[in-house]
Amino acid sequence: MKIGVLTSGGDAPGMNAALRVIAVLGTAQGHEVLGIRRGYEGLLAGDVVTLTPGMVEGIARAGGTMLGSARSKIFPTPEGQAQAKAKIRELGLEGLVVIGGNGSLTGAHLLGQDKPCRIVGIPASIDNDVGYSMMSIGVDTAVNTIVEACDRISDTARAHRRAFVVEVMGRHCGFLAMRAGIAAEADAILYGEDGDKTLDELTERLTGVLRRCFGGNSEKKRCLIVKAEGVEVPTKDIVARLQSFLDAELPGVDCRETVLGHVVRGGNPSALDRLIAQRLGYAAGAALLRGAHDVMVGWDVPATVGQDTGDRRVRMVPIGEALEETKCLLDGTSPVARARITLLEKVEQLLSM
Amino acid sequence: MKIGVLTSGGDAPGMNAALRVIAVLGTAQGHEVLGIRRGYEGLLAGDVVTLTPGMVEGIARAGGTMLGSARSKIFPTPEGQAQAKAKIRELGLEGLVVIGGNGSLTGAHLLGQDKPCRIVGIPASIDNDVGYSMMSIGVDTAVNTIVEACDRISDTARAHRRAFVVEVMGRHCGFLAMRAGIAAEADAILYGEDGDKTLDELTERLTGVLRRCFGGNSEKKRCLIVKAEGVEVPTKDIVARLQSFLDAELPGVDCRETVLGHVVRGGNPSALDRLIAQRLGYAAGAALLRGAHDVMVGWDVPATVGQDTGDRRVRMVPIGEALEETKCLLDGTSPVARARITLLEKVEQLLSM
Amino acid sequence: MKIGVLTSGGDAPGMNAALRVIAVLGTAQGHEVLGIRRGYEGLLAGDVVTLTPGMVEGIARAGGTMLGSARSKIFPTPEGQAQAKAKIRELGLEGLVVIGGNGSLTGAHLLGQDKPCRIVGIPASIDNDVGYSMMSIGVDTAVNTIVEACDRISDTARAHRRAFVVEVMGRHCGFLAMRAGIAAEADAILYGEDGDKTLDELTERLTGVLRRCFGGNSEKKRCLIVKAEGVEVPTKDIVARLQSFLDAELPGVDCRETVLGHVVRGGNPSALDRLIAQRLGYAAGAALLRGAHDVMVGWDVPATVGQDTGDRRVRMVPIGEALEETKCLLDGTSPVARARITLLEKVEQLLSM
Amino acid sequence: MKIGVLTSGGDAPGMNAALRVIAVLGTAQGHEVLGIRRGYEGLLAGDVVTLTPGMVEGIARAGGTMLGSARSKIFPTPEGQAQAKAKIRELGLEGLVVIGGNGSLTGAHLLGQDKPCRIVGIPASIDNDVGYSMMSIGVDTAVNTIVEACDRISDTARAHRRAFVVEVMGRHCGFLAMRAGIAAEADAILYGEDGDKTLDELTERLTGVLRRCFGGNSEKKRCLIVKAEGVEVPTKDIVARLQSFLDAELPGVDCRETVLGHVVRGGNPSALDRLIAQRLGYAAGAALLRGAHDVMVGWDVPATVGQDTGDRRVRMVPIGEALEETKCLLDGTSPVARARITLLEKVEQLLSM
């Protein structure tokens, strides 16, 4: 049997670890595993390479994706879909594993409608915004990278007794900001799920934080504010307002901005990301070989959802259900989302002390 | 109210993060938090310091424990217990948080029998051998440290096409070896839970692994064997046997030994350890203030065990129950243990491909 | 004898290592070492703490500065100078070690004119812009931090076959950009010493680089351009121009911007920075105790300049001479500057291949 | 012109960066660059691959060596030499770059006697034991790795107030121990160049160190002893003696051993190693193309030795002279060696405070 595998959308550390397991598992069971380059773009172009165990040896530790990734504009169109199905036939693919985030999984679900071949998805997205997977591939590494950067920034912030607003990725989901903020001893965490706050509202909250950090007889030496990209007020506007406040009320204290950007996306995957990626990769490969179609394997999925995979922490969920849950997750209505928001509130409590 | 907090037994990265949250939480709610130095030794000696928010600022990122730790021989004796209780009265402690592994929790449970004050435990042990806490503080960092060391060793192993046996901590529990082994793309993982294997049995298994890695037309460039300390056959005996085999059958390939030792115990805690430590610390402090006694807070405890804490992933379990579960965990009879062993078997499957 | 020590200006990883050695050396020889907080600001305020060996134990590995730093506006004024001298008398200081960059050393030189006490400087500046010290404290760490960030960015750049312009600190000196650029396999390095290039000139050069990276049958998967802060054309203008070029000539390739900012300033110092800091600290302390005044200790100073210190790689240079050399270094007229520019040209050669 | 390049002996981080530059430089100037696998073994076997720019893209950051390395027993024999020369003719090599330590350079010098082709050497050895190169490729990374490991060990040592003896690589040269020891705030550094000390002599010295660290009212929380492999007394014997002393005189303090081993050899090269490797690689390639033969390029060679290369910090030295200097370096008679020993003594001074 010929199996294709591709990585699509924003790259995430750990994608290579998942690729490795799929290639090893498939080959060991006598199948041919084709790596499709540059996501759906490469599928449309038939840009493939046979993955041998030697080719994937040692790649679990490498960031990025050895197959390359892309966002395809043509793929979701009727023409793109037809072309993709034709290529699947031409290449003789009987199964396809898609590793990527919500966009990539949406593409997989769409492509799977007529079942041109079996399709299984693996959630990989540093934003951790995929429904029914408590952790996506890449999240743990991204959080560690942010925390390390916050440690560095804290060194210089403490040397000068300064405030810093650090903006991190996460357009629709504040998970990275929340998790990294707690770990890095942030004094405040801003995330979009908190509601669309205005500059005035944010300023009011944050000047309180600054007073607590630098006013009176506080022993604190720095103020760290972690902000998710999804908060609509621009970081530099917030910093300008806070600086005005500081100049007036706490002269001598500076407020600076750092935007972490793409630094957060790369780097050798953490041990946990390599573990999750390999266990999800194994489950996906095994599910595909057993005949699964239009499903995603998720990490720590609620026991009431989807099906057992033999790995206690991995369950198999119809992609459509996962995408529905993604919506609820992002608009805050699912139980998982509510649990996250409970955590947020707990964080707030901790920080407001 | 006066609350004491101590760290005891082997230190684990993240202990400081837990200390920080307890100090911040207690102080914020108007209590005095006393840091007790050098574990139970310091309790017996009344060696304490008041923890202020300024003193714990920024310590979440530091390895080790700012309070020091120790293993006390006197503490578990009747004299030790009497002396500890006298000190608790003398210091005016109404609550005590104990951060440590199974030995420390056993001590906490023993001390708590007459309830000299409320006592709450927090599991911290890089070995991940505490019952009813899927992760203890320090585990994730230790796994990352091992994986990074294996990455380094793999560099030199690949340069020379060599085999390496890497021994890691874990006298009673192979979790570190298993988790790090999977993440590091190990070719074999040896752990005590697999049964007491003889040198002959291990050699037979591992020569098969070596043949697979270096024989025929294998494209593999290194063989990595991760071994838990708990496997009784000495590492150097295994290496000697494998070298003899290689000299006879695969001449030119060397087998080397590395014992990671205490390097694995230190280092800045990973983001996940800082997160777990702070959430467990928060839950422990809050539980103590609400009147809890002789309980431990655990991470990802089965929903059927203990009590809710308000944090979805943290439950409160009687220390005695947790210690019973520890026994089942280490002898392989608890459901959690069986789940781990299932994972082990899955790993074996993956590696044997 | 009472010795004061302060860190001033922008903090640099390794400052703590220098502080440690001065405290240990002074104390061991029977002197009292006063740590002055927040640079010259703290000197004016008499904000000091006696540094004991126990206080400085283990700080060599910590980024930032345990004494805090600041930029003082009053200090360089006649009033500031008078006040500083009064404080020196009041504190009974017979010697002062100033750890900082060109601004801090200028302050030390000014203060030293009437010799209120002996003054010795130590160059610490991540920009490596201090005359007669081939390396300042903090440079090696900053370069490593940038290179690591470029590695991360390269992961995601290669996954998408993208171009990145990475801006790094260095307002007057392109050393960081040059050194990190070479180490990180940059395809182009932009630095102010190259002359004030216009946006058009930069665009012309860089489109050539892009063509070489992504055009024809190039096997390259990413283009990395490292830009020093000192290049006056804003990074986002360059990126906009390059994107227009790519859209027209190499469609599908994106160009992105990352500004590393304060992340580069912090972090645990590298081994080399800890070594340089401790050797410079030792030489400064010893020189001060032997009666030196108005001198700076430099690393790898030309043999024709200053005086031997007993450490083969450390020489003692009058601060005034070092500051003169700084000017020549920054305007490109000193032999050291010319040597650096030769290196730049060599880099260009390498990159243009 | 056809140029061969090989890496030989113990691998060192940075070898790949040197390979990259040689491949890029050679190819850019119209030559064919052949990578020879597994050092001289691969030369004897004619095991080569043409290095294209695409193949070496991004490898500067990878530890180990992409070509593999080996120690050949046959190569130095008359048969081996004849066979190597025959292969050079057969492959049509007009130039050969050898990257390795003293053994590899000795091999290059031997092979070069009849000039089968031009031969240029590049010093790569984590031990830093090559004459006339103040730094070899791999040293800076190895020092950083050791220092990081000592940081980790210090965390756990401080938690328990313990002594640690950390053994590091360096059979003939204590440079790694010395440099890493200073950077890591070691309390004592043991190196073979100090003369063959007996167990009694070492014990006497080290018990003094332990008394200073843990006795009286010392505020120190750990004692760190860094020992070079080249010190003949086994580490475990030293630890046993120190433990006896502690049990008798400072009860409660433990002494432990850690042998870092091969962990020190791997890992992504530091920025400095990537820089040195690329500048040495460039100089070597350029020298070869200009006709140089039987020379080595060295880093920070004394100005009185060898020839200028156009790079201020790189000089070209006849391999024979470098190997003579290696002897003087290792027996402590060369000026460079004396300078290192002066540093050692300075270290001792620092540590004995």
Which residue do the tokens 């904000």 mark?
Answer: C47
Each as own residue / partner, the long-range contacts of residues D214-221 (CB below 8 Å, 24 or more positions apart, any chain) are D214/D161, D214/D163, D214/D246, D214/D250, D214/D253, D215/D249, D215/D250, D218/C54, D219/C52, D219/C53, D219/C54, D219/C55, D219/C57, D220/C53, D220/C54, D220/C57, D220/D187, D221/B68, D221/C57, D221/C58, D221/D157, D221/D158, D221/D161
By C-alpha distance, the chain D residue nearest B265 is D156
Per-residue model confidence as pLDDT tens digits over B147-186: 999 999 999 999 999 999 999 998 888 899 999 999 999 9
Residue B208: predicted pLDDT? 95
Q: What pLDDT does residue A217 have?
A: 85
Helices and strands (H, E) in chain C, number of each type = 12, 12
Interface test with C, best of D141, D222, D274, D304 (most C CBs within 10 A): D274
Q: In the structure encoding, which two tokens stand for residue D169, read together?
A: 């690589």
Res. A196: pLDDT tops 60: yes
**pLDDT (tens digit per residue) in D220-234:** 999 999 999 999 999
* pLDDT score, position B234: 97
The one-character DSSP state at B203 is: H
- Identify residues of C whose CB sits under 8 angstroms from chain A CBs: 7, 10-11, 13, 38, 62-65, 68-70, 145, 149, 151-161, 164, 221, 256-267
Q: What average pLDDT does this structure show over D129-147? A: 97
Are residues A25 and B353, on separate chains, in Cβ contact within 8 Å? yes
Chain D residues with beta carbon closer than 8 angstroms to that of C140: 271-272
Q: Do β-strands A307-308 and A314-318 pair in parallel, antiparallel, or remain unpaired?
A: antiparallel
Mean predicted lDDT score pLDDT of chain A: 94
Q: Do B63 and D152 make contact, defined as CB atoms within 8 angstroms? A: yes
Residue listed under structure tokens 């870092």? D260
Give yes or no for residue B197 having a pLDDT over 70.
Answer: yes
DSSP tag of C38: T
User: Residue D34 forms beta bridges with which residues?
Assistant: D4, D50
pLDDT of residue C281: 97
Task: Report the chain D residue with the minimal C-alpha distance to residue B150.
Answer: D263
Choose the closest CB to A342 out of B184, B275, B312: B312
Tell me how close the Cα of C109 comes to any Cα of chain D, in angstroms. Answer: 28
Task: Name the percent of chain A lying above pLDDT 70.
Answer: 97
Asked if D155 lies within 8 A of B13 by C-beta distance, the reply is yes
pLDDT at position B351: 67
Q: Which residue has the higher pLDDT, B92 or A216?
A: B92
Of B282, B346, B350, the CB nearest to A350: B282
By Cβ distance, the residue of A25, A271, A279 closest to B143 is A271
CA–CA gap between residue B221 and residue B223 (Å, rounded): 7
| CB < 8 Å to A279, chain B | 182, 346
**Alpha-carbon gap: D284 to the closest alpha carbon of chain C (Å):** 13
CATH code, C140-265: 3.40.50.460
- The arithmetic mean of pLDDT across residues D295-313, rounded, is 94
Joined together, the tokens standing for residue D272 give: 């400095």
Band of residue D351 on the pLDDT scale cut at 50, 70, 90: low
Q: What is the DSSP letter of C51?
A: P
Buried b or exposed e, range A46-70, using 16+ CB within 10 angstroms = ebbeebebebbbbbbbbbbbbbbbb
Which position among B11, B127, B129, B194 bears the catalytic label?
A: B127
- Cβ distance of B265 and D149 shorter than 8 Å: no
Task: Tell me yes or no: is domain C2-138+269-331 CATH 3.40.30.10.
Answer: no
Question: Going edge to edge, which strands form the sheet with D223-228?
Answer: D188-190, D223-228, D163-168, D255-259
Predicted pLDDT of residue A312: 86
Q: Can you tell me the distance from the alpha carbon of C328 to that of C102, in angstroms, rounded to the nearest whole number?
A: 13
Residue B196 exposure: Cα atoms within 13 Å on the Cβ side: 2
Taking the C-alpha atoms of residue A132 and residue A324, their distance in angstroms, rounded to an integer, is 9
Chain D neighbors of B159, CB-CB under 8 A: 7, 11, 64-65, 68-69
Contacts of C52 (CB under 8 A, 6+ apart): C23, C27, D219
End-to-end CA distance of chain B: 59
Please name which of C233, C173, C180 lies closest in space to residue C206, comparing C-alpha atoms. Answer: C233
Q: What is the pLDDT of residues D198-254, one digit of tens each?
A: 999 999 999 999 999 999 888 899 999 999 999 999 999 999 999 999 999 999 999
Give the nearest chain A residue to B154 (CA atoms). A58
The SS3 of residue C122 is: strand
Which residue has 């100078």 as its token pair? Answer: C81
DSSP string, D72-114: -SSTTSHHHHHHHHHHHHHHT-SEEEEEESHHHHHHHHHHGGG
Question: C11, C47, C114, C127: which is the annotated catalytic residue?
Answer: C127
What H or E segment, with its residue span, contains residue D49? strand D48-50
Report how far residue C26's alpha carbon sits from residue C4's, in angstroms, rounded to the nearest whole number: 10
pLDDT(D299) > 80: yes
Return mean pLDDT, chain D: 94
Question: What CA–CA distance (Å, rounded) separates C91 from C45?
Answer: 11
The answer to whether residues B182 and B188 touch, using CB atoms and an 8 Å cutoff, is no
Q: What is the pLDDT of residue A52?
A: 94
Predicted local distance difference test score (pLDDT) of residue C310: 87
Chain D residue with minimal CA distance to B141?
A: D152
Residue of D nearest to C340 (CA): D312
pLDDT at B59: 96
Q: A147 vs chain B: nearest CA distance in angstroms?
A: 6
Cβ–Cβ of B156/D64 closer than 8 Å? yes
How are strands ordered across the β-sheet holding A223-228?
A: A188-190, A223-228, A163-168, A255-259
Are the beta carbons of D13 and B155 closer than 8 angstroms?
yes
pLDDT at D75: 97
- pLDDT at B225 > cutoff 80: yes
Element containing residue D223 per DSSP (H, E): strand D223-228
pLDDT of residue C331: 84
∠ at Cα A296 (A290, A301), nearest 5°?
110
pLDDT band at A127 (very low <50, low <70, confident <90, very high): very high
DSSP B62-124: -SS-TT-----SSTTSHHHHHHHHHHHHHHT-SEEEEEESHHHHHHHHHHGGG-SSEEEEEEB
Distance, CA of C178 to CA of D181 (rounded, Å): 30
Percent of chain A with pLDDT over 90: 87
Q: Is the pLDDT score of B353 beyond 60?
A: no
Confidence at residue C351, expressed as pLDDT on a 0 to 100 scale: 64
Residue D301 has pLDDT above 90, yes or no: yes
Contact indicator for C128, C139 with CB cutoff of 8 Å? yes
A-contacting chains (≥3 CB pairs under 8 Å):
B, C
Q: Name chain D contacts of C350, Cβ cutoff 8 Å.
A: 21, 24-25, 278, 282
pLDDT (mean) for B25-30: 93
Residues of B in contact with A24 (CB under 8 A): 350, 353
Nearest of D308, D299, D310 to residue D336 by alpha carbon: D299
CATH number of the domain at D2-138+269-329, out of 3.40.50.450, 3.40.50.10190, 3.40.1640.10, 3.40.50.300? Answer: 3.40.50.450
CB contact under 8 A, C28 and D353: yes
Residue B66: pLDDT above 70?
A: yes
The 3-state DSSP class for residue D271 equals helix
User: How far away is chain A from the Cα of C152, in angstroms, using its nearest Cα?
Assistant: 4
Could you tell me where the beta strands, DSSP code E, fall in A109-267?
118-123, 163-168, 188-190, 223-228, 255-259
Token pair 């995601």: residue: C156
Question: Is D140-266 in CATH node 3.40.50.460?
Answer: yes
Measured between CB atoms, which of D57, D143, D275 is closest to C219?
Answer: D57
B155·D64 Cβ contact <8 A: yes
Q: Which chains touch B (3 or more CB pairs under 8 A)?
A: A, D
How many DSSP H helices and E strands does chain A contain? 12, 12
What pLDDT sits at residue D172? Answer: 86
Q: What stretches of chain B adopt beta strand conformation (E)?
A: 2-7, 32-36, 48-50, 95-100, 118-123, 163-168, 188-190, 223-228, 255-259, 295-299, 307-308, 314-318
Buried/exposed code over D219-235 (b: 16+ C-beta within 10 A; e: otherwise): ebbbbbbbbbbbbebeb
Q: What are the two backbone dihedrals, phi and then psi, of residue D259, each rounded to the nearest 5 degrees? A: -110, 115
Tokens found for residue C236: 């986002």
In this predicted model, what pLDDT tens digit does every residue of D56-115 receive, in sequence order?
999 999 999 999 999 999 999 999 999 999 999 999 999 999 999 999 999 999 999 999
Confidence of residue A219 (pLDDT cuts 50, 70, 90): confident
Rounded CA-CA distance A179/A194 in Å is 15
Of C16, C21, C24, C14, nearest to C52 (Cα)?
C24
3-state helix, strand, coil in chain A (%, to 5): 50, 15, 35
Q: Is the pLDDT of residue B63 over 80?
A: yes
Low-confidence residues in chain C, pLDDT < 70: 344, 346-353
pLDDT tens-place string over residues B173-182: 889 999 999 9
Any chains having at least 3 CB pairs less than 8 A from chain D are: B, C
Give A99-144 as a DSSP string.
EESHHHHHHHHHHGGG-SSEEEEEEB-TT---TT-SS-BTHHHHHH
Show me where the domains of chain B are located: 2-138+269-331, 140-266
Would the pLDDT of D337 be above 90?
Answer: no
Nearest C-alpha in C relative to A161: C68
* Cβ-defined contact of A159 to C65 (cutoff 8 Å): yes
Cα dihedral: B326, B329, B332, B333 (round 10): 80
Q: Residue D293: count other Cβ atoms within 10 Å of its Cβ.
A: 16
pLDDT at A352 over 70: no
Q: What's residue D349's pLDDT?
A: 67
Across D150-179, average pLDDT:
95
Crossing angle of helices A199-214/A235-249, nearest 10°? 50
- How far CA C254 is from CA of A167, B35, C222, in Å, comes to 22, 54, 10
| Cβ-based contacts of B278 with chain A (< 8 Å) | 182-183, 350
pTM, to two decimals:
0.97
What is the reported pLDDT for A350?
Answer: 67
Contact C128, C176 (CB under 8 A): yes
Q: How many CB pairs under 8 A join B and D?
A: 112
- Tell me: the pLDDT tens digits for B128-154? 999 999 999 999 999 999 999 999 999
Contact D145 B152 (CB under 8 A): yes
Residue B172, classified by CB atoms within 10 Å of its CB into exposed (0-12), middle (13-18) or buried (19+), is middle
Examine domains C2-138+269-331 and C140-265 and report if their fold is the same: yes
Q: Which of A239, A240, A309, A243 is nearest to A281 (CA)?
A: A309
